[in-house]
Amino acid sequence: MAIYFNEPSHTFSEYLLVPGYTDERCIPQNVSLKTPLVKYRPGEEECSLSLNIPLVSAIMQSVSNDTMAIALAKEGGISFIYGNQSIEEEAAMVARVKGYKAGFVVSDSNLKPDDTLADVLKLFEEKGHSTMAVTEDGSANGKLLGIVTSRDYRVSRMTGNEPVSSFMTPLERLVTAPEDTTLKMANDIIWEHKLNSLPIVDKMGNLKYFVFRKDYSQHKENPDELLDKNKSYVVGAGINTRDYEKRVPALVEAGADVLCIDSSEGYTVWQKKTIEFIREKYGDSVKVGAGNVVDSEGFRFLAEAGADFIKIGIGGGSICITRETKGIGRGQASAVIDVAAARDEYFKETGIYIPICSDGGIVHDYHMTLALAMGADFLMLGRYFARFDESPTPKTMINGQYVKEYWGEGSNRARNWQRYDLGGKAGLNFEEGVDSYVTYAGPLHDNVERSLYKVKSTMCNCGAITIPELQQKAKLTLVSATSIVEGGYHDVMLRSTTTVK
């Protein structure tokens, strides 16, 4: 006879946190969001790899590339570069993150001298950056000929056909610096010459980086940036259960700090074989997460297989239709609660703490706090990060609103059948994800700062200033459908407001 769970499957929106005693310590400035990323023995050793904020970006084409990885590492989190690409391309993305020099920005808004004002405006709309490099071949590292900023043109007085060469600021009028310039030297030059940006060029005159005035203050504002012992940004990478024997060595060689098996369902022999290969070849030196699972059995299986962290969630993502197409999965809140209990039991038995990651089901910022309170050590987010400037997809206007493209790895667009591997030679014969848009939300830094301030504030309401303390002290209550309605505005007529400047 089939096994039946006693309780219905619950989502985050069905729970609320009940306030606890708030003492003098409990102010957002005192809250630490540091959390372990990989397994360790508390009391005996420090975790070899921790996060400064409990957020990681999903292993998705429309979310996690090298640009996202750098931006999120600046905030204290980590990206897992998507694996639905060639081994060489994924390794190159990892290498670019590890080779990134903090404060030195590779130009992603580039023009050729024969491009037009129309091309400038289109590029600005796509990238949102007002400083654009003009290079001989229009590449990020081509021979620098000049730059275009918003001060170089006026749309109302020019035609869209005017060539960039006619209104750019040419090289001879620019202040540049050589390739061996340090960040401190670059900032000194910027302040001395009252510049907004400083191009860094090599001996051949090729553009290498930009250093921006605005990044100086931002760098000071990011004390939580996640760095390895060599002061490079920490980055993860996704792998699958098919070509791991070739992909893993390439990613390790490129410098990936941690790997994660990207799969819709982790309670499988193929995940066990993948972990075994890594352990046989690298021992414990290469860290690898596994998943996804939704119950204690799945957790125990992957824990005993040797996973360094375990992901929770099947069918809860905003673009995932696995539950709809296959009838498999579990409400994310119920899954996290169950797996967290299994994690704690495993720790009592073995002394090994295996962090768990809640993957999917986060719709509102307060869901982040709920997931952490229920036992998650960190959260993997797709839709949340897809909305930002730093995600790989272009910004587009639809019906008068800026949006960004976002699609599931199980959609026809991605066709990432390796993520849904059930063995054999068959590919992905039906969709488990959709192709969609998400509302554009601006830069990652501003949004993450705002979201995490809410998390910290709520933790203070619960009397906690660390994630472990939150998990120990949290009081949660299920809410009725009527109570959910009561939680929003009701029985009032909203006023339309205008801002007076």
Rounded CA gap, 346 and 354, in Å? Answer: 8
Rounded CA gap, 376 and 122, in Å? Answer: 42
Residues 277 and 249 sit within 8 Å (Cβ to Cβ): no
455: left (phi over 0), alpha (psi -120 to 50) or beta: alpha
Rounded CA gap, 344 and 342, in Å? Answer: 5
401: left (phi over 0), alpha (psi -120 to 50) or beta: beta
Tell the burial category of 127 from Cβ atoms under 10 Å away from its Cβ (0-12, 13-18, 19+): middle
Do strands 132-135 and 288-293 pair parallel, antiparallel, or not at all (unpaired)? unpaired
Annotated catalytic residue, options 96, 247, 300, 320? 320
Whole-number Cα distances in Å, 303 to 151, 296, 342, 344: 57, 10, 10, 12
Strand partners, 210: 105, 199
Rounded CA gap, 53 and 48, in Å? Answer: 16
Rounded CA gap, 501 and 498, in Å? Answer: 10
Annotated catalytic residue, options 247, 300, 383, 419? 419
Q: Which candidate, 416, 415, 390, 395, places its Cα nearest to that of 405?
A: 395
Q: Is 300 a catalytic residue?
A: no
Q: Indicate the angle between helix axes 269-282 and 296-305, nearest 10 degrees.
A: 30
Residues 35 and 470 sit within 8 Å (Cβ to Cβ): no
Do strands 132-135 and 78-81 pair parallel, antiparallel, or not at all (unpaired)? unpaired
Q: Is 47 a catalytic residue?
A: no
Q: Which candidate, 85, 329, 104, places its Cα nearest to that of 197?
A: 104
DSSP secondary-structure letter at 227? B
Rounded CA gap, 234 and 229, in Å? Answer: 10
DSSP secondary-structure letter at 229? T
Catalytic residues: 320, 419
